[in-house]
Copies of this chain bind each other. A is one copy, B any other.
Amino acid sequence: MSSSTATAFCAILQGMEQHTLSKPSRQLSPEKAEAILGGAMQEFLACGYAATSMDRVAATAGVSKATVYSHFLDKEGLFKALIEQLVQKKFRSIFGPVEDQHLQGNPRATLTQIANNVLDSGMGDSQYVNFMRLIMGESGRFPELARTFVRNVEASACQFFKQYLHNNAEVLQLPDPEASGRIFIGALVHYLIVQEMLHGKDIMPMERDRLIDSLIFHICPRSCSAK
């Protein structure tokens, strides 16, 4: 992991609490906890918060209902623990593979690769699409979870991007790298939302390379070397 993402990683601990039982009652097996979170993931991602039943979570996890309640305080606590785990997983899957050496080439090629990485991490991944549905759908009832998501995924991505643009300031000539970063990330995430989450592929079709090419065209001045 690059040094620029290390600072962002610290942010993961912000806004995270324990949603398991307060008394750390001695020997609760971590395997069961993982199984419960696995069942919760399947059910919450498929049905949403309100329509998920704790009986079904227990059954899917292959665990008794009493065990669920011995590991987690209640439905809300299990849900919060799950979302925080998923946010961490997503953070790692996006920023784990980013290595500094990949950022040394000419900006055109590097930006193209970054854009492809962002889209790869979301397009066609129905689990991640459902995760975004859940975060957005419940952001009114669980504002703190939405903030955790923003802190760890959105803000980290924009921070990383801003840093990259800033490091290449002399060749890219951008007056406001932070705003440009948000435009870049925003255009990609919006593409993902419309095409995948909202089933817009057939209604407003667009090849991803077309979007990316245009994005590079707008970000890189003509003086940049061709790809």
Contacts and interface: CB of A to CB of B under 8 A. Distances in A.
Interface string A106-140: 00000000000000000000000110111111111
A175 interface: yes
B133 A200 contact: no
A178 B155 contact: no
Main SS class of interface, A: helix
B50 A204 contact: no
Listed residue (A154, A155, A182, A188) with the most chain B CB atoms within 10 angstroms of its CB: A182
Contacts of A183: 183, 187, 211, 214-215, 218
A115 to B, nearest CB: 11
A143 interface: yes
Identical copies of this chain, number: 2
A179 interface: yes
Interface stretch (A32-40, A94-102, A191-199): A191-199
State which size class the interface on A falls in.
Answer: 35 or more
A213 B179 contact: yes
A186 interface: yes
A146 B215 CA distance: 26
Interface in A136-156: 136-141, 143, 146-147, 149-151, 154-155
A176 interface: yes
A210 interface: yes
A147 B180 contact: no
B48 A137 contact: yes
A19 to B, nearest CB: 19
A78 to B, nearest CB: 17
